[in-house]
Chains A and B, each alone.
Chain A
């Protein structure tokens, strides 16, 4: 094994969280920083030639190559896990910028109650109302503590939107159910495509409070506080699963890399596949990786930041045998605990009599309502806890993935009748979608698979994951609400979401997986403290949504990045002066 010269900080993963940590350390300290990214280098100029649905939307050219590594899945511990052999329910990113290159940019803040969910639900409904197998926990951070970092993240990304709660004052037109914000969004809301406008009108008519989706597909030309300028979005529609060819969508390569390029003490190594974090006597020593030429390398470092996304963070901790693996039978151990996804459904598919021009749009151009999020609504008629967001997003519908959807009255799926109907409705079909809270359960967790291996021979990560009644009931309740909205939008025919059933790896839901290295109040229940610092290995930090104790309905990235800013402050302002535990 080749041993390299030591560096101050090694960062595993070059996505939003890894590159943000790199840019904070590089710009604010004199430390040497190396980012190890197993995918390839990328830049904005590559992306115009990437406007191809087959190669990017379907063959997934920007995603982690599944033939090298996947995960296995089973619904329950007594079942046998099998590998997810082709991508379906989520799409792990790879390459410089990570999933942040081909994300949609929908950028919610979580509600204040989400940060103290366990206490909140107990106060409101009593501990007995919780599912007996829950593994809920309060976050060790409050909304108020995170608010300044939310603000910083929105300004860095140039998030477009309209405030609904400015320092406690409710503002119509924004999301009136959100927590108090210290400032308005840095850029105005996106323009409204037709379907989003129809949704907004209908929701208002029904007495709800529609607001424009908060969008990192920035609406106008914008220069952020770091001095990085980006163009406004042009609604090309090649957004979700694609990199933005004009740099309008905030991506690590166009927002963070400009701050890092050419910096002497910063180095980004693409094609570096990290296999182990090496720790001894409660100190991380560095990492082992395989470089782009296939050579085994040891990179010694004074600090290690793991920023390889939820599943990879968890897997690397398990492979490196750092921390006790979680055991669902005894409830002991921490690594792998608290796996959550997100209840993400096409709540209603609506067929209209007018063309929608669905090809125009952006990953986060849309309208949402928060009236059914968290405890914004009366749960008397609901037989579940929590809630989520009903919304319509005009992300730019592509024909190969979307052609062929027909109303339920058409029985055939091929041939003359189907074709006629599919043509007629191709541009008249709109979706009302739902993003809902996924509670943590004792039995949903991650460990290493005993059978299947990656291309280097390391065990795959095994997910044990299924929906419980709380999610199933929530999904069907929200589908009912979506149908009412679709009717008010003037839909001719409406198809309801068929129901959640069991966790399905073949239906794309979202790439929003959380947990595995959760933060908490103490080391018996969590892997990291509230600065995402490892409880037992204080020079190891585990960044990203792996730290979320459970999923609070909205998309995770804004919150994950805000937490990374907070960790960066704690490291730079305090840890570097007195290395050791921060709490």
Chain B
């Protein structure tokens, strides 16, 4: 990758596992150590966060040339930047000299980055631009080995920027595979097929990152873990009226017309749309109470008449969970990103999204829709997610009883005709089924049993698809 092969010829694995994953991951259960063992976590930060395509940022966060946003690839601090020429790069935020971060802000606009420690500076392409008092060096710094390291493969899919250090990964679109279809659907419900980010609800929990991924298509927990939310959303609903929010999980969700679908590479999808009325205005009709709801609804209905329902639906939460392994989740109108901090600490950032309406598809109502949409999006992180996060924390606490080794995920396993395949060959199960978890764990096992050859790039002109 770099012209000088004596440098950066691949990173030897610093840790080799003392575990055989054949002993840890079975069809029906996994061993607690995958959530509690430091060495396994370290390996995950290479083999998964590095070894597969990892979500890094959204293009709407860096709309202009020289815009940048801080991110991480696993534990590696990364600057995602749109360089002087418009190319999106993911630079290691690590000075080539002695390793200090060269950028200390979470976002901004900069043509170059100067290291605060001894003043080495770099263009936002990663190329070194100069060092103080160069006559003290025998080299002239034209060798690319002095450029900032960068993620060799950075690709976007419809605004979502991903990176991998693994030259053997297929191109991003192939990695996404079947999950592109629900992602496309989700984007295409918005004017122009696109969205912008508008700040976030930022949460964290003291637990392993996989606890969140394990939850992402879990329809089994909803009425238990979110019991207080369901009660809250329905506190004014009269007997006989339609229930609000996720009430379609009540009674027997497995007989309800919605499902979980499992794609390749650990991605999966919970489609709750078949359980709700998706004719215009249907989604809006099951929204719980939100600030400004009646005011804006009245305004939009007065202005648009028949067309109001479809517009109000854009302020409503889309009933899908789209999970892209290992760290990206689309749920409702949120783009939720999970970020491992340590073995037992994970950040989860719920980016809000706003509608962009360049062609006035919303007939002058886009600002009203967005004003509503901010409030609908704040609801779940405030009143729902907190109860899940405490359950994840309490799993981490429970797993400290190490002699009690197994974590079960066999709901639906071995029951004839429960799990089907669609015409594309993807597994489909009832919404409370743990089939998504079993399949993800097999993907995980496979990744953990192979050692990818991770590389970095320093040649700023290299292009690697």
Is chain B a partner of chain A in the same complex?
no
Chain A: residues with CB nearer than 8 A to chain B? none
Chain B: residues with CB nearer than 8 A to chain A? none
